[in-house]
Structure 1
Amino acid sequence: HGSGWERVLGWLGDFLSKETGAKPMSVFHCRMIPPRPDFAFTLTEEERALMNAHADYLRGLLHDGTMMLAGPVADPAGPWGLLILRVGTEAEAEAVTDGDPVARSGRGFRYEILPMLSTIM
């Protein structure tokens, strides 16, 4: 019984998306890894400006409904960025992360993208 409603509602959502012609969406966990473990504590002014452009980019994703959540994670090994996307495919998630100013900067930022097996929203 623990996951019964999740399954039923998932089936219902799939059915309705087919009926309305809506494209099925998936959720992806995107981990933005900075160029060095102490990045969050040692930003240069140029890197701070880049992070402001990154934040503006994420705000646009939130506004258009692509991004569900984003923020820095306080990992003892070194902070990293979390980005939760709702898109149709992993290729679309890659396109979103590739478009991020930090990824385009050539400064050593990279994303790891993992699909979520299921979500509770």
Structure 2
Amino acid sequence: MAVFVCRLIPPRPDFAFTMSPAEAEDEAAARASTEADPAIRTGLGLRYETSPMLQAALHPSLVRIHRTTGT
């Protein structure tokens, strides 16, 4: 399972946009999910940009600190 960032792009720059994470098997599945969004299906010019979410690797010493302090 992978995580993708889905950014809703409005038809005009004065509209607000949203970003949300989406968990999917692959990018094609994430795109299929955004294409099924009712906002997209209205045909008002909204669209999504979908890209893989960045991942980070932590050094083992940082993981140990996180587990001990909870921060």
Aligned residues: 57
More strand, by proportion: 2
Q: CA RMSD in A?
A: 1.6
2, 6, 11: which one aligns with 1:35: 11
State how 1:20-59 maps to structure 2 within 5 Å.
Answer: 25-39=1-15
Give the share of equivalent positions with the same residue, in percent. 49
Normalised by the size of structure 1, how large is the TM-score?
0.44
Unaligned residue ranges in structure 1 (runs of 5+): 1-24, 40-78
Normalised by the size of structure 2, how large is the TM-score?
0.71
Change in Cα spacing, 1:119 to 1:97, as seen in structure 2 (3 Å) is farther
Unaligned residue ranges in structure 2 (runs of 5+): 58-71
**Stretches (4+) displaced over 4 A:** none
Which whole-Å deviations, capped at 9, do the CAs of 1:16-49 have from their partners, x for residues lacking one? xxxxxxxxx000001100111222xxxxxxxxxx
Contact 1:27 1:119 in 2 (8 A): no
6, 23, 26: which one aligns with 1:89: 26
